[in-house]
Amino acid sequence: MTPASVSDYRELARRRLPKIFFEYIDGGSYAEVTLRRNVADLEAIALRQRVMRDMTQLDMSVEVFGQKLSMPVGLAPVGMAGMYGRRGEVQASAAAAKVGVPFCLSTVGVCSVEEVASAGTPPWFQLYMLKDRGYMAELLARAKAAGCPVLVFTVDLPVPGARYRDVRSGFTGSSGLSGALNTAWQGVTHPAWLWDVWLHGRPHTLGSVVGAIPQSRSVTDFLGWIARNFDRSVTWADLDWVRKTWDGPIVIKGVLDPEDARDALRAGAQGIVVSNHGGRQLDGVRSSISALPAVVDAVGGELEVFLDGGVRSGLDVLKALALGARACFVGRAWAYALGAGGAPMIEKMLGTLRSELAVAMTLTGCNVAREANRALLDVAG
């Protein structure tokens, strides 16, 4: 199949990846209500079609923290990407750099921050706050030394959400001989993945935190350790602790409530990502896109506001821009593309988003993406 949309990359990834990893990418928490809302609420927004305008020139560029993006899209942090494609985070970073958009490396990436940075453009770095503050300070110093320009501090994961698909697939909850046999069987039945990732994509560790847990041998060992070490005591005051090591821009990821957005501003953040963790944390909360307008109204003039969650097309990107987002971060979209065929597929997927955005801008009369506003939306639709 030649992929033409994000849903096509999803299908190719489903075919190629072992079930345990596809379900990990694709699933959400509990009954996945919020996961579905993220997509459905974006689909429900109507664009306002306009005609007979000179749309010869389109400008999709946007500047964020001194970095010029070719279009208002970035690759969101995705855990364990190195299990979906060989050294997956390095491939994603290379694809993003080639297209001219930012890549954000997850704390729980298979590739370390040094490996990704040394391969090309230093990534934005996403931080989970763990109980071991000494190691967190060391990790922040490493990200700074690697040249990472922006810190994305994820705050909606004091505990992991209950993701039932991962239990059913055997990704979590199985151990010992049964877990080993499940992994072995899934590898054998997916030979392309076995050759590309399992045999030639090692080491299968979480590169940025491997020093904190030297006795662990597998990705699931690392994830178990991290789940036990998420810090539930984190408050806005902890940004002062982060600032002792990090002097660059800080973006708070995981904000849905306007008051939390105001707290982020008061705490000294430079940006926020309106996000519900892709529907992977607290199920039953509102979609990211439905939360966006109130957050923008609360702080949009003083902070950079980004959207994450449910973005599956360039049309979705324009809808988010119209509601006040500076840019959108896509997670599952690039993870699907990576699983479907590595960096070339990620580049192709980003090209698809760009083409869709161009059509949407042309048919709504929006020549400049950064000037998008609510007048692009058909509120009666």
Distance, in Å, from the CA atom of 201 to the CA atom of 223, rounded to the nearest integer, reads 18
Phi, psi of 267 (to 5 degrees): -80, -5
As a three-state string, the secondary structure of 239-270 is HHHHHCCCCCCEEEEEECCHHHHHHHHHCCCC
What are the residues whose beta carbons fall under 8 Å from the beta carbon of 278, sequence distance 6 or more?
28, 35, 38, 308, 309, 331, 332
Q: How confident is the model at residue 381 (pLDDT cuts 50, 70, 90)?
A: very low
- Tell me the two tokens of residue 229: 């070490």
Distance, in Å, from the CA atom of 336 to the CA atom of 323, rounded to the nearest integer, reads 26
Of 286, 292, 336, the residue nearest 312 (C-alpha):
336
Phi, psi of 237 (to 5 degrees): -65, -20
* Region of poorest pLDDT, from 38-47, 163-172, 262-271: 163-172
pLDDT > 70: what percent of the chain?
A: 93
pLDDT given at position 174: 56
3-state secondary structure of 378: coil
CB 335 within 8 A of CB 78: yes
Respond yes or no: is residue 277 known to be catalytic. Answer: yes
Of 274, 179, 254, the residue nearest 223 (C-alpha):
179
Whether the pLDDT of residue 251 is over 60: the answer is yes
Query: Which tens digit of pLDDT belongs to each residue from 98-139?
Result: 999 999 999 999 999 999 999 989 999 999 988 888 889 999
In sign, the C-alpha dihedral spanning 372, 373, 375, 377 is positive
pLDDT given at position 223: 67
Distance, in Å, from the CA atom of 228 to the CA atom of 285, rounded to the nearest integer, reads 24
Q: How confident is the model at residue 286 (pLDDT cuts 50, 70, 90)?
A: very high
pLDDT given at position 273: 98
Whether the pLDDT of residue 371 is over 50: the answer is yes
The type of residue at 347 is: E
Distance, in Å, from the CA atom of 312 to the CA atom of 162, rounded to the nearest integer, reads 24
Kindly name the residue from 190, 200, 204, 277 that is annotated as catalytic: 277
Query: Which tens digit of pLDDT belongs to each residue from 231-247?
Result: 888 999 999 999 999 99
Q: What is the enclosing helix (H) or strand (E) of 360?
A: helix 343-364
**What residue segments make up the domains of the chain, in order of their start?**
6-376
Residue with tokens 């590169």: 207
pTM of the entire predicted model: 0.95
pLDDT given at position 230: 80
- Which superfamily does CATH assign the domain made up of 6-376 to? Aldolase class I (3.20.20.70)
Whether the pLDDT of residue 327 is over 80: the answer is yes
What are the residues whose beta carbons fall under 8 Å from the beta carbon of 62, sequence distance 6 or more?
68, 69, 71, 72, 326, 327, 369, 370
